[in-house]
Chains A and B, each alone.
Chain A
């Protein structure tokens, strides 16, 4: 089975712009979670999607949003980018109900905001 894929792998944006990141889970996995990882804050949970519905949400501002499609692929969007949004954005998929089963991570998208 192919692993979790994320595109793009690297991205440079300027403040005020918006960005869309994509994640394709492992085939058959229905739950997708998104995380932001920075050296000082570690892994911060953004949101989880299951069967096209947002099931959990972390403590991020409304500039961060996401969605999941019927094929379980997921996208996250960040609008009005700020310098502090520079981070590694990781997507993880789980086989079934999600929320705590072993998570399989993608390679991440490294976002740099200048």
Chain B
């Protein structure tokens, strides 16, 4: 089957670094996305990985290992506004179709 796992909740301190992990089991893997969702708002795109390695974008970086079915989102220099849910989503090919399979999200609380 197709499955995505990520921790339910995490807590970190302002200014620190936090790593949010995502493991997946899927056939026809064709890319992994990270989205940020603040409470009461829509998800917004953070990053996309399709090849192994690290993609850096400002304070946020995302890593992918396809052989291990593993990704992480690294947030540096945490700010209070980073308190949000972080969603991992995997794009999978299914025949002629492609679908996005979503994790349940990791709720990150940044404390002063």
A-B pair number, CB within 8 angstroms? 49
- Per DSSP, chain A at the interface is strand
- Per DSSP, chain B at the interface is strand
Range, interface on chain A? 20 to 34
Interface residues of B in 64-112 (CB under 8 A from A): 87, 89, 91, 97-105
Query: B42 contacts which chain A residues (CB < 8 A)?
Result: 4, 90, 105-108
B99–A102 CB distance below 8 A: no
A43–B99 CB distance below 8 A: no
A102 to B100, CA, bound (A): 11
Q: Give 30 CB contacts A-B under 8 Å.
A: A41-B104, A42-B87, A42-B102, A42-B105, A43-B43, A43-B89, A43-B102, A44-B102, A45-B100, A45-B101, A45-B102, A56-B97, A56-B98, A90-B42, A99-B97, A99-B98, A99-B100, A100-B91, A100-B98, A102-B33, A102-B45, A102-B48, A103-B43, A103-B45, A103-B100, A105-B42, A105-B43, A105-B44, A107-B41, A108-B42
